[in-house]
């Protein structure tokens, strides 16, 4: 734990905010969100990033995490925002931070935050769900039934107990592909409360169709961001910041 | 021959277990080498859960020392929880390393580090899951050598049927010597197989090989003698001692796990050994003499470690850190260096004196002062003389008064219950002491919200200490003394609400006592209890006293001994102890005299500051005390330019 600082000590405000896109790959997909937070904060230290700290007895570095993917799920699109007390070069930050993080926790992009309401821009996620051993036709049938339903209620254990909610409405688009020894479900899900997660979609498929999955699926979040004009493609949430920087 | 990663199979099981991240490795500073490029392959195990095992300094040091050799690779494995063990058995996934997920059975040596005996059952799980026969005698040339190390290896007799060897003392040079022997043997084409390799290791004196010693018993159950059964094997096997810790500044690149561990900090060992002479303390006896690391090396290790890990807390470790000859300069130097950072320093120290408070004040210079810990160990003046913990009540009151006066709000006091010659009254004195502490603290601080927590554990006599002959207190009496103490504190109307009591029941101590002073016959109990499902003995939710006692009942059915014989029985000088052929350097006569001194309340000083007391270690092992001061100066930290700050904006 960080040393508890004298609350009377001068607090240096952040002069810049940076938004970071990172991946969680391969065996490190088993990293929980808490694990990632700890590893990331240590990486910032090793990288020598001049972090801004909160005031109070136990100062914390200024970091906000958005919509972390569940433990066991890989991701190409996780987002973090940090506040720093000296102006940082986003390209250098990308290179150095990636170097000090273990392979599997990889930094993909860094932009200077130039626009408000970043989290609100993360409207939907695109998930790729590999189902080893499942025939494509079986998955196809299940998906057809699911998409034809207007509502599919599923249960999930949450911190506040068992919750029942609809997993269908949030699914904007879904299709089935054939992989090496698996069927692949590509699905775009709109974020909401409670968030519909890939395992909720699978639970819903199992509910509407006779469809068992013995081997655990391999899930990857491919993208997270604003819904584009076509109503189902997921865009890059950094576009607005990049445009603002160039302007 | 190459060895395949078991990860593809393991990966299928991980979504179904608790905290899967503990099995995936990927720690910062972990090393993975190509299998074919090396001759000798070590797997090191800490026989507890990953979260407990990963911070272990012994494993981290040896991991690095071994991986620095071009001809050697070293990986790590930890105990898997029962949920994964069950799935691994169902799906034929063997015990694996976390580094490259290679099967443990494919390595040349499996080194298991035992801080305590409570890891024995977990070792059996790992050996069995690795597909290695449980008994050393059933292993062949394809199986790894199973080698025990750590403090418990000073008496490995209870696990002697499961291990091929045990290494006593400091591991740095010993593992390299073992590696040399294995490398030469393999390069020669492994002539004579496993037996020849073990003979070479035993003859060199680097390792104790239990199979090369026979134990004979007397009719009453005591040991008649222990003797080598092969020519060329030493009668006694000696411990290893690393001299000049500045030449061994490990770990240089500490492992930083992604999973949460029990010690979220970086540790720097500031000296090894302790000569305070506390009679209950096995660590202090078997790690003699004191060897200090210099202030300069410590400062370099701290700076390097912080840079390599990103940790925010540094622990300056040793058996009694405030006793380093230059600790004041080290504390001030480090506090100066890291004054304007988020880095905090901690110094686990049990010393009860004002100097300790000065140090704690220095290390918390600009932080909040929450709690300080002291270890008087014994409740009464008399019992503290018995255990040679030279602290008077006056010292203690003066020290805690200084602590409360400098703004510390909570004081923790460590004690033991069940010490030799102890009566109820000795333990009840703790209640009075805590009362005096609060009284003095309220006066010194002028506040009523100060607290004192009394933490008390059962004493377990350990091999290679003056108390190795002592009778352990039975668990019923231990518990009744603890309850009396608890009640006495509750009945303190004036200050009872300011005093907290923490204690554990006496039953786990009985099993620890059985294992730590056990002989080869105890191995059957360990195997039986493991077959009955016992795992993770250090975890109260997994430990079962009844299962252990039932196993002992079966294992000792045809023996002249039982659990009481090993635990609550006092030994005499003439008895051959199970560990007499294992040489910690301590002279048995000296230990006996010290035991007799204990019984007549005679204290003995610290040989760092007084003439030698002839404990035997330095003479016998060819070692010497290495203490400062070096009179070096710790310079301010050079400012390292940030690699990420924009050049114009800086």
Q: Looking at the predicted structure, is the pLDDT value of residue B350 above 80? A: no
DSSP 8-state class, residue A61: B
Q: Looking at the predicted structure, is the pLDDT value of residue A58 above 80? A: no
Query: Domain for residue B408, yes or no?
Result: no
At residue B339 the predicted structure's pLDDT band, cuts being 50, 70 and 90, is: confident
Considering only B318-322, B365-369, B450-454, B619-623, which range has the smallest mean pLDDT? B365-369
Percentage of chain A beyond pLDDT 90 is: 83
Looking at the complex, does the CB of residue A201 fall below 8 Å from at least one CB of chain B?
A: no
Q: List pLDDT tens digits, range B415-440.
A: 999 999 999 999 999 999 999 999 99
More confident residue, B609 or B638: B609
B499 to chain A, minimum CA–CA distance in Å? 25
Same domain, B297 and B187: no
DSSP 8-state class, residue B56: -
- Cβ(B21)–Cβ(A30) below 8 Å: yes
Boundary-marking domain end, from B163, B184, B218: B218
B345 to chain A, minimum CA–CA distance in Å? 8
Q: What pLDDT, on a 0 to 100 scale, did the predictor assign at position B1?
A: 62
Query: Domain for residue B573, yes or no?
Result: no
Q: How far apart are CA B497 and CA B410, in angstroms?
A: 13
Same domain, B39 and B126: yes
Q: List pLDDT tens digits, range B33-73.
A: 999 999 999 999 999 999 999 999 999 999 999 999 999 99
B44 to chain A, minimum CA–CA distance in Å? 21
Q: Which two tokens stand for residue A120?
A: 């609100």
Q: Which helix (H) or strand (E) holds A242?
A: helix A239-246
The answer to whether A35 contacts B21, with C-beta atoms less than 8 Å apart, is: yes
- List the CATH number of the domain containing B362: 3.30.750.210
CA dihedral (B91, B97, B98, B101) positive or negative = negative
Sequence-separated contacts (24+) of A142-151 with Cβ below 8 Å: A142/A205, A142/A206, A142/A208, A142/A209, A142/A211, A143/A174, A143/A175, A143/A176, A143/A185, A143/A205, A145/A208, A145/A209, A146/A171, A146/A174, A146/A204, A146/A205, A146/A208, A146/A209, A147/A171, A147/A174, A149/A208
Q: List pLDDT tens digits, range A198-232.
A: 999 999 999 999 777 888 999 999 999 999 999 89
Scan for tokens 């560990």, then name that residue: B579
Output the CA–CA distances (angstroms, integers) from residue B362 to B331, B342, B345, B368, in the order listed: 7, 16, 10, 12
Q: What are the structural domains of chain A?
A: 16-113 (3.30.70.580), 122-225 (3.30.70)
Q: Looking at the predicted structure, is the pLDDT value of residue B379 above 70? A: yes
Domains in chain B, number: 2
At residue B365 the predicted structure's pLDDT band, cuts being 50, 70 and 90, is: confident
Average of pLDDT values for B380-387? 96
The answer to whether A93 contacts B343, with C-beta atoms less than 8 Å apart, is: no
Q: Looking at the predicted structure, is the pLDDT value of residue B448 above 70? A: yes
Residue B182 is part of which domain span?
7-218
- List the CATH number of the domain containing B136: 3.40.50.280
Same domain, B193 and B342: no
Instruction: Name, in order, each residue with C-beta under 8 angstroms of B583's C-beta and a sequence gap of 6 or more.
Output: B168, B236, B237, B238, B239, B620
Q: Which helix (H) or strand (E) holds B45?
A: strand B40-46
Nearest beta carbon to residue A89 from set B19, B27, B644: B644
Residue B329 Cα to chain centre, angstroms:
28
Mean pLDDT estimate for chain B: 95
Same domain, B27 and B116: yes
Boundary-marking domain end, from B199, B218, B237: B218
Q: How far apart are CA A227 and CA A231, in angstroms?
A: 6
Query: Domain for residue B447, yes or no?
Result: no
Same domain, B118 and B14: yes
Q: How far apart are CA B262 and CA A127, in angstroms?
A: 35
Same domain, B152 and B272: no
A87 to chain B, minimum CA–CA distance in Å? 5
Axis crossing angle, helix B424-445 with helix B393-405, rounded to the nearest 10: 30
Count residue pairs from A and B with Cβ separation < 8 A: 127
The answer to whether A2 contacts B7, with C-beta atoms less than 8 Å apart, is: no
Please provide the DSSP assignment of B629-648 as one string: ------PPPPPPPPSSB-TT
Scan for tokens 């408000």, then name that residue: A116
Average of pLDDT values for A143-156? 95
Average of pLDDT values for A31-47? 95
Nearest beta carbon to residue A86 from set B309, B364, B645: B645
Q: List pLDDT tens digits, range A64-112.
A: 999 999 999 999 999 999 999 999 999 999 999 999 999 999 999 999 9
Query: Domain for residue B241, yes or no?
Result: no
Q: Looking at the predicted structure, is the pLDDT value of residue A3 above 50? A: no
Percentage of chain A beyond pLDDT 70 is: 96
CB-based burial label for B393 (10 Å; 0-12, 13-18, 19+): middle
Query: Domain for residue B572, yes or no?
Result: no
Q: Is the ipTM of this complex over 0.85?
A: yes
Considering only A47-61, A95-109, B261-275, B537-551, which range has the smallest mean pLDDT? A47-61
Percentage of chain B beyond pLDDT 90 is: 89
Q: What pLDDT, on a 0 to 100 scale, did the predictor assign at position A51?
A: 95
Same domain, B147 and B270: no
Query: Domain for residue B478, yes or no?
Result: no
A227 to chain B, minimum CA–CA distance in Å? 31
Same domain, B187 and B67: yes
Residue B311: its chain A contacts at CB < 8 A? 42, 45
- Cβ(B468)–Cβ(B517) below 8 Å: yes
Same domain, B283 and B214: no
In chain B, which residues touch A (CB < 8 A)?
A: 7, 11-12, 14-16, 19-21, 23-28, 256, 258-260, 264, 306-313, 342-344, 364, 366-368, 640, 642-650
* SS3 per-residue string spanning B360-419: HHHHCCCCCCCEEEEEEECCCHHHHHHCCCCCCHHHHHHHHHHHHHCCCCEEEEEEEECC
Q: Looking at the predicted structure, is the pLDDT value of residue A1 above 90? A: no
Please provide the DSSP assignment of A64-119 as one string: EEESPPPTT-EEEEEEEEEEESS-B-HHHHHHHHHHHSPTTEEEEEEEE--SS-HH
Measured between CA atoms, the residue of chain B closest to residue A93 is B644
Q: What pLDDT, on a 0 to 100 scale, did the predictor assign at position A164?
A: 95
Q: What pLDDT, on a 0 to 100 scale, did the predictor assign at position A247?
A: 81
Same domain, B163 and B103: yes
Nearest to B434 by CA among B480, B501, B484: B501
Q: What pLDDT, on a 0 to 100 scale, did the predictor assign at position B637?
A: 80
Average of pLDDT values for B354-368? 80
Same domain, B42 and B189: yes
At residue A7 the predicted structure's pLDDT band, cuts being 50, 70 and 90, is: very low
Output the CA–CA distances (angstroms, integers) from residue B164 to A233, B76, B151, B463, in the order listed: 62, 19, 17, 21
Q: List pLDDT tens digits, range B505-544.
A: 999 999 999 999 999 999 999 999 999 999 999 999 999 9
Boundary-marking domain end, from B202, B218, B234: B218
Query: Domain for residue B188, yes or no?
Result: yes
For testing contact with chain A, the best of B310, B341, B648 (most A CBs within 10 A): B310
Same domain, B35 and B111: yes
- Nearest-5° angle of CA A95, CA A63, CA B637? 65
CA dihedral (B220, B221, B227, B229) positive or negative = positive
């Amino acid at each position: 734990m960080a040393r508890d600082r004298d609350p009377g000590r001068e607090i240096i405000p952040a002069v810049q905010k940076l938004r970071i896109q990172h991946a969680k790959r391969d065996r490190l997909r088993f990293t929980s969100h808490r694990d990632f937070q700890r590893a990331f904060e240590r990486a910032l230290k090793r990288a020598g990033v001049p972090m801004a700290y909160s005031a109070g007895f136990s100062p914390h570095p200024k970091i906000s995490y958005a919509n972390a993917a569940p433990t066991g799920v890989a991701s190409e699109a996780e987002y973090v925002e940090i506040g720093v007390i000296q102006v940082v070069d986003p390209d250098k930050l990308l290179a150095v931070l990636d170097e000090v993080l273990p392979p599997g926790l990889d930094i993909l992009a860094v932009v200077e935050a130039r626009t408000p309401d970043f989290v609100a821009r993360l409207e939907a996620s695109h998930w790729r769900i590999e189902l080893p051993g499942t025939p494509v036709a079986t998955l196809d049938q299940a998906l057809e039934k699911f998409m034809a339903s207007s509502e599919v209620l599923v249960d999930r254990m949450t911190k506040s107990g068992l919750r029942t909610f609809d997993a269908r409405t949030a699914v904007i688009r879904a299709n089935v592909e054939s992989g090496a020894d698996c069927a692949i479900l590509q699905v775009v899900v709109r974020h909401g409360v409670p968030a519909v997660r890939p395992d909720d979609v699978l639970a819903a498929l199992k509910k509407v169709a006779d469809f068992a999955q013995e081997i655990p699926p391999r899930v990857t979040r491919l993208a997270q961001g604003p819904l584009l004009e076509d109503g189902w493609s997921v865009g890059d949430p950094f576009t607005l910041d990049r445009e603002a920087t160039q302007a | 021959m190459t060895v395949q990663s078991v990860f593809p199979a393991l990966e299928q099981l991980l979504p179904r277990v608790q905290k899967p991240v503990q099995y995936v490795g990927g720690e910062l500073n972990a090393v993975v080498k190509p299998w074919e490029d090396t001759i000798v392959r070590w797997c090191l195990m800490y026989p507890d859960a990953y979260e407990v095992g990963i911070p272990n300094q012994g494993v981290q040091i040896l991991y690095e020392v071994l991986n620095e050799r071009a001809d050697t690779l070293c990986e790590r494995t930890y105990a898997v929880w029962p949920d994964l063990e069950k799935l691994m058995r169902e799906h034929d996934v063997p015990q694996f390393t976390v580094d490259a997920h290679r099967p443990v059975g494919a390595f040349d040596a499996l080194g298991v580090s035992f801080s305590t005996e409570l890891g024995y059952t977990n070792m059996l799980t790992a050996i069995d899951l690795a597909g290695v026969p449980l008994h050393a005698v059933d292993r062949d040339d394809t199986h790894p050598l199973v080698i025990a190390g750590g403090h418990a290896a000073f008496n490995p007799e209870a696990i002697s049927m499961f291990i091929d060897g045990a290494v006593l003392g400091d591991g740095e040079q010993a593992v390299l010597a073992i590696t040399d022997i294995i490398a030469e043997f393999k390069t020669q084409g492994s002539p004579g197989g496993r037996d020849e390799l073990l003979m070479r290791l035993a003859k060199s004196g680097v390792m104790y090989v239990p199979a090369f010693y026979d134990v004979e018993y007397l009719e009453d159950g005591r040991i008649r003698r222990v003797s080598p059964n092969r020519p060329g094997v030493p009668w006694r096997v000696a411990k290893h001692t690393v001299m000049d810790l500045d030449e061994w500044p490990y770990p240089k690149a500490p492992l930083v796990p992604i999973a949460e561990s029990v010690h979220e900090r970086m540790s720097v060992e500031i000296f090894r050994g302790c000569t305070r002479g506390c009679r209950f303390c096995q660590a202090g006896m078997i790690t003699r003499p004191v060897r200090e690391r210099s202030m300069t090396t410590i400062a370099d290790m701290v700076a390097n470690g912080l840079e390599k890990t990103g940790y925010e807390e540094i622990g300056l470790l040793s058996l009694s850190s405030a006793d380093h000859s230059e600790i004041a300069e080290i504390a001030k130097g480090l506090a100066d260096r890291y004054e304007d950072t988020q880095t905090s320093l901690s110094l686990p120290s049990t010393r009860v004196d004002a100097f300790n408070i000065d140090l704690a004040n220095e290390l918390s210079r600009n932080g909040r002062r929450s709690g300080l810990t002291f270890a008087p160990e014994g409740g009464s003046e008399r019992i503290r003389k018995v255990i040679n913990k030279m602290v008077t009540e006056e010292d203690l009151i003066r020290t805690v008064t200084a602590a409360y006066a400098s703004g510390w709000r909570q004081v923790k006091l460590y004690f033991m219950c069940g010490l030799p010659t102890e009566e109820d009254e000795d333990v009840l004195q703790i209640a009075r002491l805590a009362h005096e502490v609060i009284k003095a603290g309220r006066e010194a601080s002028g506040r009523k919200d100060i607290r004192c927590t009394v933490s008390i554990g059962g004493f377990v006599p350990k091999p290679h200490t003056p108390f190795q002959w002592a009778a352990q207190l039975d668990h019923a009496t231990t518990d009744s003394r603890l309850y009396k103490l608890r009640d006495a504190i509750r009945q303190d109307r004036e200050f009872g609400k300011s005093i907290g009591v923490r204690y554990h029941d006496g039953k786990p101590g009985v099993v620890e006592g059985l294992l730590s002073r056990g002989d080869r016959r105890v191995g059957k109990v360990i195997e039986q209890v493991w077959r009955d499902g016992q795992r993770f003995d250090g975890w109260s939710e997994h430990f079962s006293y009844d299962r252990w006692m039932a196993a002992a009942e079966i294992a000792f059915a045809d023996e002249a001994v039982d659990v009481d014989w090993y635990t609550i029985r006092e030994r005499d000088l003439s008895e051959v102890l199970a560990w007499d052929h294992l040489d910690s350097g301590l002279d048995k006569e000296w230990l006996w005299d010290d035991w007799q001194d204990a019984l007549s309340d005679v204290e003995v000083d610290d040989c760092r500051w007084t003439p030698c007391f002839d404990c035997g270690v330095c003479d016998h092992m060819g070692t010497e005390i290495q203490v400062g001061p070096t009179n070096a100066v710790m310079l301010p930290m050079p400012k390292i330019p940030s690699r990420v700050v924009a050049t114009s904006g800086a």
